[in-house]
Amino acid sequence: METVNRKKKIIVYDTTLRDGAQGEGVHFSVKDKLLYVQKMAEIKMPYIEAGWPGANPRDEEFFRLAAQLPLKDTKIAAFGSTCRVNESPEQSDILAKLLASTAPTITIFGKTWNLHVNEVLRTTLGENIRMIKESIEFLVRAGRQVFFDAEHFFDGWLENPAYALSCVEAAIEGGASVMILCDTNGGVVPTDITRGVRDVARHLSPLEMGIHAHNDSGLAVANSLAAIEAGVSQVQGAWNGFGERCGNANLSTLIPLLQLKLGYQVMDGSVISQLTYLSHYVAELSNYPFDEKQPFVGKSAFAHKAGMHVDGILKTRRSFEHIAPSQVGNEGRILISDQAGKANIWERMRRFQPQILKDDLRVEEAMVQIKSLENQGFQFETAEGSLDLLLQKVLGLFKPPFQLLDYHVWSDPMRGDLDSVAVVKLQVDKETVHIASEGCGPVNALDQALRQALGAFFPAIEKSELVDYKVRVLDESSGTEAVVRVLVETSLENEEWGTIGVSSNILKASAQALLDSLYVTIGRDQLKKK
């Protein structure tokens, strides 16, 4: 059995800006790309594949501006293809634009599957090999570091191994420094990845190899690990698994697996502890929804809901956590729901009363209330703000900072955008406030009226922001009489929390969630001032 050098250095080649940007719904402007490169340079990302010069004006502008960036430990790579069929490299507009990008590293792809040569390029097997070898020779003579993406290598190797190997051999003869074996269709399984990598190493050794895996079968990370264990030293992927169709190998998962689980040298230890932040940064920059179910970096990665699991976690975290969340910059969470046991609720109540015992009757009382409310449609695992208010009430610690005495809301479609008016009457200490406000829809009008009435008393409300508002119908068979659940997400400085309301009256449910949001905003601000 082969032994693996666990201290071996694995080079990460980040293709988020190129292959990742080909994913549905993912978009980077030129400014986004420049910010991205600077952020990745801070963590010393070895290679960033930033685009295809000449494919679009945006990439051409990016490479022009990127050439001025002071990058020390990070290399920008330009991506493109070989010259065309029956075209010399000197005549190739594709290769000329790759050189004009001034990128120090150029990655070009060539076909290694005879099916593609015959049916897609519509040329001979020999002409394809010429295109690969001569294109790489041309770029190497120009003084560039050249990587070769052996496109569809594993499919080609399974169908015609001799030809797939001859394509890689042509790239080596041309002077490419790394041979990246690609599972372009994402349909190969790990055992065939291992066999393919070892076959290349056996016939064409010594050479440096990389792996580029797509996730169409959900195996991109597993295939990348199989390739590394078989001998490749470069791994390509994209943050958050962005990419064509089902995406690329997810760097947010691959990096901690390689370094924390398999003992390879991948990134500096300080980078590993920033992985959660970096994954969120990339999602925000691309304006793409973050997948909270991601391993290691997702909000759910270390969230515990079942009572038995929570009981184990409270005794020893290793019982239900494969690593310490802090190792990747994440944190553990204990969820409260109708499946919660006493351990879940007791642990959360200790935030407000650290000395409370697990067998305290108030723990049981809170558990009964939570399960009853969730039976009515509440969902506290996504509304931790409302949950905290409930627990504080059970503990006798909650004192409402204001009292809502009355409110009325009405809408008139003829009024234009501000089609709704809300009037609220509330009391703060002994002072009564009566105010009206317009809004875009009844919920917005009510939110605006409450904020205007309370802003002078509680300045934190003016700083807070309603960042999300969701409505879900819980019983569709009841039509317009159905019970609805309203979830409101609120942010204040660097904190976010959810609050909830449930009613057959959507406005009442919304008011309930909005009021809880304001209570939490005021409470958290007052706690900071103590």
The angle at the Cα of 47, spanning 239 to 248, to the nearest 5 degrees, equals 35
Q: Specify whether the CB–CB gap between 147 and 103 falls below 8 A.
A: no
Instruction: Locate the DSSP E strands across 341-412.
Output: 403-411
Q: Which residues of 274-312 are buried (b: 16+ CB within 10 A; e: fewer)?
A: bbbebbbbbbebbebebbeebebbbbebbbbbbbebbbb
pLDDT digits (tens, 9 = 90+) for 152-210: 999 999 999 999 999 999 999 999 999 999 999 999 999 999 999 999 999 998 789 99
How far is the first Cα of the chain from the last one, in angstroms, to the nearest whole number? 62
pLDDT at 332: 81
pLDDT at 171: 97
Tell me which of 375 and 252 has the higher pLDDT.
252
pLDDT digits (tens, 9 = 90+) for 76-110: 999 999 999 999 999 999 999 999 999 999 999 99
pLDDT at 184: 98
pLDDT at 6: 52
Q: What percent of the chain has pLDDT over 70?
A: 96
pLDDT digits (tens, 9 = 90+) for 231-282: 999 999 999 999 999 999 999 999 999 999 999 999 998 899 999 999 999 9
Question: Average pLDDT of 112-137?
Answer: 98
Q: What are phi and psi of 111, to 5 degrees?
A: -75, 135
Instruction: Locate the DSSP E strands across 258-330.
Output: 303-304
Q: Using the predicted structure, report yes or no on whether residue 339 has a pLDDT greater than 70.
A: no
Q: What is the DSSP string of 428-451?
A: ETTEEEEEEEEESSHHHHHHHHHH
Average pLDDT, the chain: 92
pLDDT at 341: 67
- Say whether 375 sits in a helix, a strand or coil: helix
Tell me which of 324 and 418 has the higher pLDDT.
324
Amino acid at 67: A
Q: Specify whether the CB–CB gap between 458 and 469 falls below 8 A.
A: no
Distance CA 168, CA 149 (A): 9
Domains in the chain: ranges and CATH = 11-267 (3.20.20.70), 303-394 (no CATH), 403-529 (3.30.160.270)
pLDDT at 299: 87
Distance CA 366, CA 387 (A): 10
Question: Average pLDDT of 16-30?
Answer: 94
pLDDT at 307: 66
Three-state secondary structure along 101-149?
CCCCEEEEEEECCHHHHHHCCCCCHHHHHHHHHHHHHHHHHCCCEEEEE
Task: Give 361's pLDDT tier (boundaries 50, 70, 90).
Answer: very high
Q: What are phi and psi of 321, to 5 degrees?
A: -130, 125
The angle at the Cα of 508, spanning 504 to 513, to the nearest 5 degrees, equals 110
Task: Give 333's pLDDT tier (boundaries 50, 70, 90).
Answer: confident
pLDDT digits (tens, 9 = 90+) for 463-501: 999 988 999 888 766 777 789 999 999 998 878 899 999
- Say whether 505 sits in a helix, a strand or coil: coil
Q: Which residues of 220-245 are buried (b: 16+ CB within 10 A; e: fewer)?
A: bbbbbbbbbbbbbbbbbbbbbbbbbe
pLDDT digits (tens, 9 = 90+) for 272-315: 999 999 999 999 899 888 899 999 999 889 887 776 776 777 67
Q: Give the orientation angle of helix 30-42 with respect to helix 57-66, to 10 degrees.
A: 40
Distance CA 386, CA 379 (A): 10
pLDDT at 469: 92
Tokens of 309: 């699991």
Q: Specify whether the CB–CB gap between 255 and 266 falls below 8 A.
A: yes
Task: Measure Cα distances from 400 to 64, 360, 394, 519 in Å.
Answer: 58, 24, 14, 7
Q: Using the predicted structure, report yes or no on whether residue 375 has a pLDDT greater than 90.
A: no
